[in-house]
Amino acid sequence: MKDHYSLVIVGAGPAGLAAAVNAAHHGLDVALLDEQPAPGGQIYRAIESIPAERSSLLGAEYQRGSELVSVLRDSSIEYYPDTQVWSLNRKLEIGLVCSNTAAMITANQILLANGAMERPLPFPGWTLPGVMNAGAGQILFKAHGIVPADGVVLAGSGPLLLLLAWQYLHAGVKIKAILDLTPVHNHLRALPYLPRALLAGHYLMKGMAYKKELKRAGISTLHNISELRASGREQLESISFRQNGRQHVLETELLLTHFGVIPHTQLSRAAGCRHDWDSSQQCWRPQLDEWGNSSIDGILIAGDGGGIGGARTAEHAGRLAALEALHQLAKIDQRQRDRLGRKDRKWMREDLHVRPFLEAFFHIPGKLLRVPDDGTIVCRCEEVTAGEIRMAVANGHSDSNQVKFQTRCGMGPCQGRQCADVVENIIAATGGDSIARGGHYRGRPPVTPLTLGQLASLYPEEKE
Amino acid sequence: MKPDVLIIGGGLMGFSVALQLVKRGTRCKVLDKDSAGRHASGVNAGGLRQLNRHPAEIPISVAAADMWHNIESLVDSDCDTRFPGQIRVAENAEDMQLLEERAAMVRGLGFEHEEIIDRDELYRLVPALAPHCKGALICRNDGYGRPFHALDAFRRKALSLGVEYHASVRADAIEHNGNEWCVSSEKGEFRAPVLVNCAGAWAARVAAALGESVPLKPGAPMLMITERLPRFIEPVIGAASRKLSFKQMQNGTLLIGGAHMAELDFEHQTTDMDWAKLALSARTVMALFPQLENVRIVRTWAGIEAFMPDNLPVIGRSSRSPYAYHAFGFSAHGFQLSPVVGKIISQLILDERTEFPIEPFNIQRFCKR
Amino acid sequence: MLKRLDDNPEKTVTVTIEGQPVEVPAGETVAAAVLASGIGYTRTTPVSGSPRAPFCLMGVCYECLMIIDGQPNQRACKEYVAEGMTIERQHGTGVLQT
C-alpha cells in the first residue's frame, strides 16, 4: 500500500465498486479499502464463492453483484480486503489496519461507501441468544449456507423481512410465523406516494409476487402486531405479542427481527461531516450535494451510507461520486462530468421514485422507537435500560451526550452504534431536546478498536 | 428573586463556588454557555492527586484531599472516588535522584504526604509493572473519581439548596453600572452585585470584559480509554521522566493520559486527535506494561481546558473590581482542587479573607507594569 | 437452532470450540461456526453476567466478542476459522494476556 492516493474509497459494496471502476477507467490511482475478505458488501456478500445452487435461491437481484465484482477483478484498482478504517479527519488522513498492521495514509479525495446497518430497535428480551437481526439471518444464508433448523419467527417491519421469508421458503426452511409490526394506518400515510412509486413499479410487483408465493405455501403474515417480547433464561424459549387486543405466545428458539436500515455514519461522523435528521427515513444522514460532496472538502459519500436508496441507487451514486472526484482532481472538466453523469442521474432519479412510498409504508411508529418498557435494555454493551435513560433526563441531562456521560450508555465497544438513535428518541419523548436539536453522540475515535501495539507502531519518528 | 452572586461557568469550579455560597445563605445563579460540565469538568482524567504538585499548590491541594475523602458529607455522593494512591515511578538512577530531591523539598515545606518507596515496595504495590523500575515517589491517600459524576453531584446538591442554573446562556456583554453587574445574553439580562469568573477555557473573555488581560491559552489534552480488563492494577501510575497518567477505572477500563494536546479549533469547540502524539503515549504505556500490547483502545477524546504560562491557576479577587472574583486557568490539574476553590472564593466574598495561601494565584502576576 | 444446507463441504478445517474439536467448512466466520455448532451463548457481559450471542453478524453490534486463540474481545463475525484455531466463550471482561 502506498501512503498517498488520488482517491481512496472505503467500502466494496455496490457504491464503492461502481465508483472504483469508473475512477480507474479514467486513469485515476485508486485504493479500494474493504473490511471484508472479498468484494460485494453486505448485499452481494460471498458473491464470488457462493455455490451456484445457493446463489439461485437468493434470486436475480443478488446475482447482479457478480458482474460488478468481476469488473473490479479485471481492473488496475488497488484493492485491499480485510482492511479496517479506524480514523478519518478533515485533513483527509485515514487511519487503517490492514492484515493486522496499522497505517496512516492520505488522499486528495475520499469516497465513503460504507453502506447501511440495520436499525436497532430495543424490545424486551432482544439481548437473548436466539434473537438476531434478519440481516444476520440473511448473511448466514448467503455467505455460509446456514439456515434455521427447527423453524424461525420473523418479526418487524420492512421489505427485508419479506425477501428473507421468500428466500427461506425456497431453501425449505420452516417459517413458524411472520409478525408484521407495521401499523395498519401506515397504508394511509403511504397512499399519497403511491402514484410516484408506480413509476418504479417493478419493486412493488416483486414484493407482491413474494407475498403471493408465501401465501400459496401456507405461510401467513400476522398483521397489526404490537408488544413483541422475547423470553427465555439463557436462550430464547418463546415470544409473546399482541394482535387485535389479544395476547399470544409462540414457542421458538430463533427470532429474526428487522426494522429497516439506516446509514452507517460512524466514519462521516468521525471526520466531522455535518449530518441532518431525516424524518422520513427516521435516521441521521450526512449533508450531501447531488454529486455526493459532504460538508468537508474532499470527502464524498455514496450509497446507503449517505441515505437509504438501495443497491441500484448506490451504484449510480458511486459512479457519480467518482466523476465528481475526477472533476475535483481536474481530470475532467465540469461539462464532461455533467455529460458523463447524465444517464446515472436519470436512472438514479427513476430508481428513487419508490422510496417515499416505502418510507411512509414502513414508517416505524414513535411508540416503538421510544422503547415504552422501562426495563428494556437500550445499550447492549453497558446494559443501560430505557428507565435509566429517562431517569437521567429527569435529573436534568437533556441531550444524548450528557445522558451518555451520566449512564455510560454508548460507552461500550460498539461506540453507540446500537443505542445512539434510540437514546435520542427516548430523550425527545421524555421532555429533553428534540432529536435534531439534541444532536448525536460526539465521535470518539477510533471508529473500530485499535490495539495499543498497533497504535504504538505508528509515527516511529515521533519522540518526547 | 435577584441573586447575590452571578457565576459564569457551569463546570465543577462554578458549582463548587455556588455550593459553598448557598450553604452560607447566599443566593447564586450559575450561567453556562453550553450544558453543565460540557468541557474540561466532564471529560477530564479524574485524578485526585497531591503528588508532584507545584509548591504553591501543595497547601490547597492537601486541604482539597481532606475534602475529597469526606466528599459524601458535602455533596451526598462519593463521586465514585477511590484512593489507592498515586505513584511516580523511577526507571533509572537519575529518575530516582530527581524523585528523592522532590521528596526532600516537600518535607522541607512541612508536608508528609509524598514518600519515597524502594523497588520491593513498588512491585508489591504494582506487580504488573515492567521489571526495570528502580523505585518511586508515592502519595498513598491520592486516588481518582469519575469527573462527570462528581460534576453531577455538585450540581444537584447546589440546585437542591436553591442555586439557580441556566444552560445555553452565552454572555455577550458584562458591565458594571456602579451597583451591580449586568450580564446580557440572547436569553435576557442577569444582574447581581457580585460576579465570579469560572469560565474555564473561556475565562479570558470574561476577564477581558473586566478590563484584565490574561495570557490564557486554551488547550485540549488527549485521553484514551481501553476495553474493560480484569483488574490488574490499583494505584494511578505516572513516570518521573515520561508524560504519562495511567489508571484502571472502577469498571476495568484503562484510562491513559499523557498531557499531549489534540489539535483544537477553539471557535468551533472541536478537536482532532494527534495520532502521532497518541502513538507516543501508546509506546510509553508499552514500555511500562508490555503485556498490554493487544489491548484495544475503544475511545479517545480531548476536553477543552485553560492553560496559564506558569501552569498555575488564577484564584482570587479581580485586580479591577472589588466585586469580581476569578477561579480559572487550572492547566489540566483542577479537578482535585475544585472543592477547596469553592471554599476559597466563598470566603473571599463573604469574609473578605481566606484561610488559604492564595497569593501565588493572584491575577496581578500577569499585569505588566 | 441453525443448520448447514450442505453437509459435505469441499474443504474443511478443524477448530476447537469450548474444548471440543469441530470440523467446519473453510471460509466460515467464527460466528457462523459457533452458531452452527449449537453452543448457545458465546459470552457473558461484564456488567451483569448475562448470556449473549452474535446479533448483527456485520461487525456493528460487538455482541459476538469471544476469546480466539487466547485473545479476548475478538469479534467472532469478523474473524475466519483456521486450522487448529481455539475458540472460547468470553466470560465478563475476558482475560489479560501475559
Give the mean pLDDT of chain B: 96
Binning pLDDT at 50, 70 and 90, where does residue B1 land? low
Query: Are B110 and B126 part of one and the same domain?
Result: yes
Return the partners of chain C (3 or more C-beta pairs < 8 Å).
A, B
What residues make up the domain containing C47?
12-91
CB contact under 8 A, C58 and A135: yes
CATH number of C43's domain: 3.10.20.440
| Residues B169 and B298 placed together within one structural domain of the fold | no
In a domain, C74, yes or no: yes
B39 is a domain residue: yes
Whether the per-residue pLDDT at B305 is higher than 60: the answer is yes
Q: Is residue C57 part of a domain?
A: yes
The residues of A whose Cβ lies within 8 A of any Cβ of C are: 35, 37, 42, 49, 51, 54, 117-118, 120, 127-133, 135-136, 139-140, 143-150, 171, 234-235, 253-254, 264, 380-383, 412-414, 417-418, 448-449
- Shortest CB distance from B298 goes to which of A95, A449, A456? A449
CB contact under 8 A, C46 and B252: yes
A-proximal residues of C, 6-35, CB under 8 Å: 6, 25, 27-29, 32, 35
Residue B33 domain-assigned? yes
Q: In this structure, are B43 and B160 located in the same domain? A: yes
- The answer to whether C46 contacts B294, with C-beta atoms less than 8 Å apart, is no
Tell whether C3 is covered by a domain.
no
The answer to whether residues B209 and B238 belong to one domain is: no
Q: Which residue has the cell 479537578?
A: B335
Is residue C97 in some structural domain? no
Q: Report if residue C96 sits inside a domain.
A: no
Domain assignment present for residue B298? The answer is: yes
At residue B264's C-alpha, the angle toward residues B259 and B269, to 5°, is 120
Any A CB within 8 A of C88 CB: no
User: Which residues of A are less than 8 Å from C2 in CB distance?
Assistant: 140, 146-149, 254
Chain B residues at the A interface, defined by Cβ less than 8 Å, are 35-37, 42-43, 148-149, 152, 155-156, 159, 167, 226-227, 242-243, 251, 270, 272-273, 275-280, 282-283, 285-286, 292-301
Portion of chain B with pLDDT greater than 70, in percent: 99
B230 and B288 both lie in a single domain: yes
* Domain CATH number, residue B106: 3.30.9.10
Per the structure, the count of domains in chain B is: 2
Answer yes or no: is B178 within a domain.
Answer: yes
In a domain, B81, yes or no: no
B291 closest CB neighbour out of C46, C73, C97: C97
Query: Do residues B236 and B196 share a domain?
Result: no
pLDDT tens for each residue of B120-167: 999 999 999 999 999 999 999 999 999 999 999 999 999 999 999 999
Report the distance separating Cα B313 and Cα A459, nearest Å: 34
In-domain check, residue C4? no
pLDDT tens for each residue of A78-124: 999 999 999 999 999 999 999 889 999 999 999 999 999 999 999 99
Task: Report DSSP state, residue B82.
Answer: B
B16 lies in the same domain as B131:
no
pLDDT given for residue B369 in this prediction: 47
Cell numbers describing residue B142: 491520592
Helix (H, G, I), strand (E, B) or coil at A212: helix
Q: Is residue B345 situated within a structural domain?
A: yes
In a domain, B290, yes or no: yes
Integer angstrom CA distances of residue B333 from B47, B49, B253, B312, B313: 8, 8, 21, 9, 9
Degrees to nearest 5, angle at CA A443 with B155 and B197: 35
Average pLDDT for B278-293: 97
Does this model's pTM top 0.90? My answer is yes
Can you list the positions of beta strands (E) in B91-240?
Answer: 115-118, 135-139, 143-144, 164-166, 173-176, 181-185, 188-192, 194-197, 217-219, 221-228, 236-239
Tell me what percent of chain B is helix, strand and coil, each rounded to the nearest 5.
35, 30, 40
Q: Shortest CA distance to B253 belongs to which of B211, B215, B224, B218?
A: B224
- A116 Cβ contact list (under 8 Å, min separation 6): A42, A261, A262, A263, A264, A304, A305, A308
Query: Does residue B94 share a domain with residue B132?
Result: yes
Assess if residue C87 is contained within a domain: yes
How many domains does chain C contain in total? 1
Query: What is the grid cell recorded at B165?
Result: 442554573
Contact residues on chain B for A464, CB-CB shorter than 8 A: 242-243, 280
Q: Could you tell me if B325 and B234 lie in one domain?
A: no
CATH number for the domain that contains residue B177: 3.50.50.60
Cα pseudo-dihedral A79, A85, A88, A93, rounded to 10: -50
Does some domain include residue C52? yes
* pLDDT tens per residue, range C37-92: 999 999 999 999 999 999 999 999 999 999 999 999 999 999 999 999 999 999 99
Computed over its alpha carbons, how large is the radius of gyration of chain B?
21
Nearest 5°: the CA angle A151, A239, A252 is: 20
Q: Whose grid coordinates read 475476558?
A: C94
Decide if A131 and C55 are in contact by the 8 Å CB cutoff: yes
| Chain-centre distance for alpha carbon A240 | 28
B78 found inside a domain: no
- B272 to A90: CB separation less than 8 angstroms, yes or no: yes
- In this complex, which of C40, C56, C62 lies closest to A133 when CB atoms are compared? C56
Bond before A446 cis per omega within 30 degrees: yes
Share of chain B above pLDDT 90, in %: 97
Whether the CB-CB separation of B284 and A455 falls below 8 Å is answered with no
Q: Do B162 and B289 lie in a common domain? A: no
| Phi, psi (deg, nearest 5) at residue A72 | -60, -45
Residue B367: per-residue pLDDT: 78
Q: Where does a domain end: B262, B281, B302? A: B302
What are the residue ranges of helices labelled H in B109-202? 119-125, 147-160
Name every residue in C having a CB less than 8 A away from some CB of B. Answer: 46, 71, 73, 92-98
**Residues contacting A188, CB < 8 A, separation 6+:** none
CA distance to partner chain B, nearest, from residue A263 (Å): 21
**Shared-domain flag, residues B153 and B189:** yes
Successive 10-residue mean pLDDT values, chain A, 464 residues: 97 98 95 97 94 89 92 94 96 94 97 97 98 97 95 96 96 96 95 95 93 94 96 97 96 98 96 95 97 98 98 97 98 98 97 96 95 96 97 93 94 93 95 86 92 96 86
Query: Is residue C92 within 8 angstroms of chain A, CB to CB?
Result: no
Residues B9 and B46 in one domain: yes
From chain A, pick out residues whose CB is under 8 angstroms from the CB of B285: 452, 456
pLDDT band for B368, please (50, 70, 90 cuts).
Answer: low
Output the pLDDT for position A7: 98
What is the rounded CA–CA span in Å between residue B290 and residue B278?
16
Instruction: Write out the residue range of the structural domain in which residue B32 sits.
Output: 5-64+147-216+309-365
Which of B129, B225, B229 should we substitute to test contact with C (largest number of C Cβ atoms within 10 Å)?
A: B229
